[in-house]
A and B are shown apart, each in its own frame.
Chain A
Amino acid sequence: MHRERLENVVFRAGYLAILTFMLLPLVVVVVTSFAESGNLAFPPENYSLVHYRAFFEETRWLSAFDNSLLVGVGTTVVATTLGVTAAFGHEIDDGRAGQALAPLVLVPLLIPPIILGISMRVYFVRAGLEASFLSLVLAHTLWATPLVYFVMRSVFSRFDWQLLDAAKDLGAGPIRSFVYAVLPNVKHGIFVGALLAFIISLQEFVMALFLSSRSTETIPVVAWTEIRQSLDPMVSVVSTFLIVISLIAIVIATIATNLDWLSKQLS
Chain B
Amino acid sequence: MSGTQSSSSLPAPIARLWEPLRERSRSNRALLLMAPLLVFELLLFVAPFLILLRISLTDGSQDLRYAPGTWSISGYTEVFTTDVLLNAITYSIKLGLVATAITVVIATFYAYAIWRAEGVVKSALLFSVILPLLTTLVIKTYAFWPLLSPNGTVNGILTSLNLVSEPIQFVPGTVGMVVGQVYIVLPYAVLAIYSVLSTMDWGIVEAARDLGASRPRSVLEVVVPQAMPGIIVATVISFAWSVGAYAAPGLLGDGQNQAKAFALVVEKRLLSNPQWEVATAYAVVMLLLMLVSIVLLTVTLNRFGGEFEYA
Contact = CB atoms under 8 A, between A and B. Distances in A.
A189 interface: no
A21 interface: yes
Interface string A152-185: 0000000000000000000000100000000000
Interface residues of A, number: 88
A260 B126 contact: yes
Interface in B127-161: 127-140, 142-147, 151-153
Contacts of A141: 40, 44
A115 B194 contact: no
Contacts of B211: none
Given A86-B37, A105-B37, A18 B106 contact: yes
B244 A112 contact: yes
B126 A263 contact: yes
A103 to B, nearest CB: 10
B30 A89 contact: yes
A93 B1 contact: yes
Interface stretch (A50-58, A59-67, A119-127): A119-127
Contacts of B34: 85-86, 89-90, 97-98, 101
B98 interface: no
Contacts of B113: 11, 14-15, 18
Contact of B49 (A11, A119, A138, A206): A119
A67 to B, nearest CB: 14
Contacts of A246: 131, 134-135
Interface in B256-287: 262-263, 266-267, 270, 276, 279-280, 283, 286-287
Interface string A119-140: 1101100100000000000110
Nearest to B198: A264
Nearest to B264: A114
Contacts of B37: 82-83, 85-86, 101, 105, 145, 149
Contact of A122 (B51, B137, B267, B286): B51
Q: What is the interface residue range for chain B against chain A?
A: 35 or more
Interface in A78-119: 81-83, 85-86, 88-90, 92-93, 95-98, 100-101, 104-105, 107-108, 110-116, 118-119
A111 B298 CA distance: 16
B247 A206 contact: yes
B138 A199 contact: no
Given A21-B183, A105-B37, A26 B51 contact: no
Contacts of A24: 147
A32 to B, nearest CB: 6
Contacts of B247: 205-206, 224
Interface stretch (B20-28, B79-87, B162-170): B20-28
Nearest to A219: B136
Interface string A220-238: 1001100110010001000
B292 interface: no
B33 A88 contact: yes
Interface stretch (B4-12, B69-77, B185-193, B200-208): B185-193
Interface of B: 1, 21, 24-27, 29-38, 40-41, 44-49, 51-52, 55, 106, 109-110, 113, 117, 122-140, 142-147, 151-153, 183, 186-188, 191-192, 194-195, 198, 215-216, 230, 233, 236-237, 240-241, 243-244, 246-247, 250-251, 262-263, 266-267, 270, 276, 279-280, 283, 286-287, 290-291, 294
